[in-house]
Structure 1
Amino acid sequence: MPPKVFAWFAETPMIALSDFVALTSSRDSEERARAAHLAALCYLDHTGPADEHAALYAVLIGFLDDPSVKVRAALAYGLLHSAHAPRAVVLALLRDSAVIARAIAQYSPALLDADLLPLVPGAPLPMVLALCQRSQISGRLAAALIGSGMREAQLLLLRRTDVPVPAEVLLRLADSEGRDCELRGALLARRDLPPDARLLLVRYAASDLRQARIVRGALHAPRLDRLFRASEDEAIAAIGEKAAAQENAHYASALAAAEQLNTRLLLHALVSGQVLFLAECLAQLAQTPRRKVLNLLETGSRAALQALLAACSVSDPVRGVLVQLIRHARTVDLASDVAGRHYVITVVLEELIAEYDDGIPADLEEAFSYLSEQNVRLAREAARQVMSAFTGPEGQGTAVALPVTDERRLLPAA
């Protein structure tokens, strides 16, 4: 050991110089481990001359060659949580025995992505899990760890909301592993999940739910079809509204590219009050700025709305229905007023029936059928709200007059 290092140790109150020398040269690995740990702490706490610090560095390097795992582990433990640990020593310990390497990989803040990324390919599960538990993980390292394909590591990372995961990685994982219920739940719980990935996972969940025996046996097949179709419309529009609020145009453009922006979806976005999503969809179809579309929806004339919808390649009869809905919707908060929504749809349906007294044309059948479905559903919701008002605390004193029935008109009991 260099003389200056002896002098520095002699001035410290932790241990006498002679005792430290005895520890370093002991045949007992426990004593050498104590010396290695002490040397690591002294290196990190040193504030004296640079040559003494360099001498301590040489002492640490010497302990790397100790044949005992206990000694090298004690050295690692002393340097484990310090960002000022010497990189050469830390990197050497990172390539040491498995138990030492995992501890260094998990805890050492002195390591960079460039040090850790080469470890991921071909790494065993314990090492990958250790990397997943680092206090700070970059998006690049997270992508590599998820790309390892180890399910436990993927779940661990997805449940860490503090770890940024690139959007393309989440989308790729949703596409490949969306059938896995546990992974799907972890993905759906993330706020940074891309909208198109969220929609994909919702569809996977709906498919699995539909195949469940308890669901298939609970409802008649046509009603089950209507229920799932309505639920998918709601999911697409709700995700789209949130994406539009974040000014994310990719979601609507992806739907347009996949030819999923049909009449039914436009009607649903309109009658459910999801105006931002509707504007984004129309902007994509018409290749028009969204701000201009929003202005037309709010204040545009009938002719201007017709021109906008014509640019979206909407058929003439459907354009008329959409224009009527838009004009009626300007006076009602469709997003929260169920009764108002029911009123608007009822008025438009009555106008259609009056206009086409010879029968609804084929071009309008899909729109008419959708509006009729919504009218029934909204009528039920509005009725439940009315009944809850009567049966709630405020309506407890309300009396309902029952009709007087002539007993002679009653049918005999069966």
Structure 2
Amino acid sequence: MSMVAYQRYVQLSQSCDSEERGQAAHIAAMAYLGHRGPADEQAALYAALMNFLDDRSVKVRAALAYGLLHSEHAPRPIMLALAQDAPVISRAVVQFSPVLLDADLIGIIRSGDPDMLAVMTMRPALSTRVALALVRIEDPDLCIRVLARDDIALPEDELMVLAERWGEDARTRGALLKRKDLPGLARRHLVGQVREALMGTRIVKGAIQPRRLDRLMRDACDTATTSIGEREAGRGRVHYAKALIEADAVNARLMLHALVHGQVLFFADCLAELAETPRAKVFTILDGGSRAALNALFARCGFSAPVRNLLARMVSHARTADLADDLAARHFIVSLLIEELITEHEGDIPGTLDEVFAYLNEQNIALARAAARGVMPAFAAEVPDAVMVPDDRPNRLTLPAA
């Protein structure tokens, strides 16, 4: 500032008009942040900033705050004082000021002001420590705000806790499911909560016959479980399959579902855990092992002889098809398995295969429906003038009107 500018500043700062004092506060803030001169001048500017903290007008203190708000060089004592000022000032400081440390924010969290906590979730940068402190308050709105921040890395165990805590709350559950870093076990738990919520919804129960609804939900949950497992296996996280096995959630139906849908990584992880066999060896057997080797592997997993034979047959068919992406191949192989089972057992399916045979029939119907969608419109587009039902009935006598 020149000498004249300083004189003008003094006039503004001593004015009875809060607008003019606000101008002075803003000028002082800009001068302090841009100062490159002697130390005594900087000390004078710092003292000027301090004096504005005691101004009776909120407008003046707000002008001071907004002048310093986004700077990393703003004086911490002043910003801490402003963070305890009127709500219009304190919220802005808590939301934007980069000079506030995690310890400062934790102290504000302990104060419990809900409005301050909400604006804190909107800070340009939020550390994991502060984010965890916010979600542990167990307020669903705060939790959703933090979960929506994909720039914040949250520990897997904390996400598991949140899934357990908020699984029945639809909004928080949705926010959790949107996170790409959600652990597979937490995601599967939340999918189960979605199933329960849908099963209990009147509009769903009233629109779908109970047995069909149960089949639809069971198939959807199997798909979710194996899809999550495939993604976890692709990331090298074998604990997902291990946890499912420990929870007794892996059975012949689920294994067959994974194989039918081409989720080979999850299928192999489950086999490796069940058979206590290295994953690489399991892949070698699945890729080119003999029928005897496949049966031996499935025997180590504890499957019955009929189930072992069925899985071995399915693996042999799967080697020649892309079941992950080819819907027609899935339908063909499932239909073929059903025909082979009927022929092999002369129509008398063993009781040990009741569950998997029922599953194959369900899948056959579902896959046939999916494969049939769009076939007729595509055919009609190719032959638009073809007659679907020829009218070869004899012409009827038409009598003139009386």
Normalised TM-score (structure 1): 0.86
The answer for unaligned runs of 5 or more in structure 2 is: 394-402
Per-residue CA deviation, residues 145-165 of structure 1 (Å, 9 max, x unaligned), is 222223332233333333433
Q: Which moved more, 1:318-327 or 1:303-312?
A: 303-312
Deviation of 1:45 after TM superposition, in Å, equals 0.7
| Whole-angstrom CA distance in 2 between matches of 1:348 and 1:404 | 42
- 5 Å matches for 1:157-172? 157-172=146-161
| Whole-angstrom CA distance in 2 between matches of 1:404 and 1:210 | 51
Q: What residue in structure 1 maps to residue 34 of structure 2?
A: 45
The alpha-carbon distance between structure 1 residues 353 and 24, as it changes in their structure 2 partners (threshold 3 A), is same
Q: What residue in structure 2 maps to residue 70 of structure 1?
A: 59
The alpha-carbon distance between structure 1 residues 358 and 204, as it changes in their structure 2 partners (threshold 3 A), is closer
* Pair 1:396-2:384 in alignment: yes
| Whole-angstrom CA distance in 2 between matches of 1:370 and 1:93 | 65
| Whole-angstrom CA distance in 2 between matches of 1:401 and 1:100 | 77
Q: What residue in structure 2 maps to residue 175 of structure 1?
A: 164
- 5 Å matches for 1:119-134? 119-134=108-123
Of the three residues 94, 107, 110, the one matched with 1:118 is: 107
Deviation of 1:402 after TM superposition, in Å, equals 7.0
Amino acid at match of 1:126: D
Of the three residues 330, 340, 356, the one matched with 1:341 is: 330
Deviation of 1:284 after TM superposition, in Å, equals 2.5
* Pair 1:186-2:214 in alignment: no
Q: What residue in structure 1 maps to residue 2 of structure 2?
A: 10
Partner SS state of residue 21, structure 2:
helix
Contact kept, 8 Å, 1:117 with 1:144, in 2: the verdict is yes
The alpha-carbon distance between structure 1 residues 358 and 10, as it changes in their structure 2 partners (threshold 3 A), is closer
Q: Percent identity?
A: 50
Q: Which moved more, 1:225-234 or 1:266-275?
A: 225-234
Amino acid at match of 1:56: L
Deviation of 1:143 after TM superposition, in Å, equals 1.8
| Whole-angstrom CA distance in 2 between matches of 1:303 and 1:70 | 84
| Whole-angstrom CA distance in 1 between matches of 2:370 and 2:80 | 65
Amino acid at match of 1:396: P
Contact kept, 8 Å, 1:44 with 1:85, in 2: the verdict is yes
Give the paired residue count. 394
Deviation of 1:238 after TM superposition, in Å, equals 1.7
Amino acid at match of 1:168: D
Q: Which moved more, 1:328-337 or 1:207-216?
A: 207-216
The answer for unaligned runs of 5 or more in structure 1 is: 1-8, 406-414
Partner SS state of residue 344, structure 1:
helix
Deviation of 1:320 after TM superposition, in Å, equals 1.2
Q: What residue in structure 1 maps to residue 92 of structure 2?
A: 103
Q: What residue in structure 1 maps to residue 312 of structure 2?
A: 323
Contact kept, 8 Å, 1:129 with 1:153, in 2: the verdict is yes
Of the three residues 299, 302, 312, the one matched with 2:301 is: 312
Contact kept, 8 Å, 1:273 with 1:334, in 2: the verdict is yes
* Pair 1:380-2:372 in alignment: no
Contact kept, 8 Å, 1:121 with 1:148, in 2: the verdict is no
Partner SS state of residue 120, structure 1:
helix
| Whole-angstrom CA distance in 2 between matches of 1:296 and 1:397 | 53
Partner SS state of residue 110, structure 2:
coil
The alpha-carbon distance between structure 1 residues 204 and 67, as it changes in their structure 2 partners (threshold 3 A), is same
* Pair 1:147-2:139 in alignment: no
Deviation of 1:44 after TM superposition, in Å, equals 0.3
Q: What residue in structure 2 maps to residue 4 of structure 1?
A: none
Per-residue CA deviation, residues 168-227 of structure 1 (Å, 9 max, x unaligned), is 333322222222222222222232322222222222222222222222222322222111
Per-residue CA deviation, residues 101-123 of structure 1 (Å, 9 max, x unaligned), is 21110011122222212211342
Q: What residue in structure 2 maps to residue 286 of structure 1?
A: 275
Partner SS state of residue 88, structure 1:
helix
- 5 Å matches for 1:13-24? 16-24=5-13
Contact kept, 8 Å, 1:158 with 1:187, in 2: the verdict is yes
Contact kept, 8 Å, 1:390 with 1:398, in 2: the verdict is no
The alpha-carbon distance between structure 1 residues 264 and 92, as it changes in their structure 2 partners (threshold 3 A), is same
Q: What residue in structure 2 maps to residue 197 of structure 1?
A: 186
Q: Which moved more, 1:104-113 or 1:246-255?
A: 246-255
Contact kept, 8 Å, 1:199 with 1:236, in 2: the verdict is yes
* Pair 1:276-2:265 in alignment: yes
Deviation of 1:66 after TM superposition, in Å, equals 3.7
| Whole-angstrom CA distance in 2 between matches of 1:41 and 1:264 | 70
Amino acid at match of 1:329: A
Amino acid at match of 2:91: R
Deviation of 1:240 after TM superposition, in Å, equals 1.8
Deviation of 1:28 after TM superposition, in Å, equals 4.5
Deviation of 1:129 after TM superposition, in Å, equals 1.1
Q: Which moved more, 1:70-79 or 1:80-89?
A: 70-79
| Whole-angstrom CA distance in 2 between matches of 1:16 and 1:98 | 32
Per-residue CA deviation, residues 55-82 of structure 1 (Å, 9 max, x unaligned), is 3223323333444443332221111011
